[in-house]
């Protein structure tokens, strides 16, 4: 049939620290925390749509996330995912509370330059040395009102 197709992303390594319990009308349900959601939408960028869409969600979620909620999740994600998150928090979302924690964690890792948007052959616009990101598309978010 035609219509909506749902693609489920899954992983065998699921960080329990990123799961929160929410009360609904029929009981409690376990859902992804805002911190885990931020990391997942970058990890599964190709399934979400465009990275610009992910950046908008990260921009909105950033106020709900604390460093204490974000840091324990870092070991569950690749350095590539963390590089992209750090860049988006720092350069796109203008989030000054969270990106230093990402930067601090990445200092213990050997980083290679990676494209901001994977599987995209657009020209490199700039090279960001702090996050080791080759910016291959301009990403902007609408400022909050």
Does any domain span residue 126?
A: yes
Please check whether residue 118 lies inside any domain of the structure.
yes
- Residue 61 sits in which domain range? 16-135
| pLDDT for residue 96 | 82
Residue ranges, the chain, pLDDT below 50: none
Burial (CB count <10 Å: 0-12, 13-18, 19+), residue 52: middle
* pLDDT (0 to 100) of residue 12: 62
> Is 10 part of any domain?
no
145 located within any domain? no
Kindly state whether residue 6 falls inside one of the protein's structural domains. no
| Residues constituting the chain | 145
What pLDDT, in 10s, does the model give residues 47-67? 777 788 888 899 999 999 999
Confidence at residue 140, expressed as pLDDT on a 0 to 100 scale: 82
CA distances from 101 to 13, 24, 119, 145 (A): 22, 33, 27, 27
Considering its fold, how many domains does the chain have in total?
1
Contact 62, 85 (CB under 8 A): no
For 109-127, how does the pLDDT look when each residue is reduced to its tens digit (9 = 90+)?
999 999 998 887 778 899 9
Q: Which pLDDT score is estimated for 44?
A: 85
Answer yes or no: is 21 within a domain.
yes
Check residue 95 and give its pLDDT: 75
Residue 36 lies in a domain: yes
Q: How many C-alpha atoms does 133 have within 13 Å on its Cβ side?
A: 26
Q: 33 in a domain, yes or no?
A: yes
Residue 11: its pLDDT value, please?
64
């Amino acid at each position: 049939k035609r219509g909506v197709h749902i693609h489920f992303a899954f992983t065998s390594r699921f960080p329990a620290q990123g799961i929160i319990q929410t009360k609904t009308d029929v009981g409690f349900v376990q859902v992804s925390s805002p911190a885990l959601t931020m990391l997942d939408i970058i990890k599964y960028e190709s399934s979400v749509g465009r990275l610009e869409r992910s950046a908008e969600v990260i921009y909105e979620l950033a106020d709900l996330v604390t460093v204490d909620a974000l840091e324990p999740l870092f070991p569950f994600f690749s350095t590539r995912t963390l590089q992209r998150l750090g860049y988006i928090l720092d350069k796109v979302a203008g989030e000054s509370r969270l990106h230093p924690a990402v930067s601090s964690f990445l200092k213990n890792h050997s980083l290679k330059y990676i494209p901001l948007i994977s599987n995209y052959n657009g020209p490199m616009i700039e090279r960001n040395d702090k996050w080791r990101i080759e910016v291959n598309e301009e990403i902007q978010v609408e400022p909050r009102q």
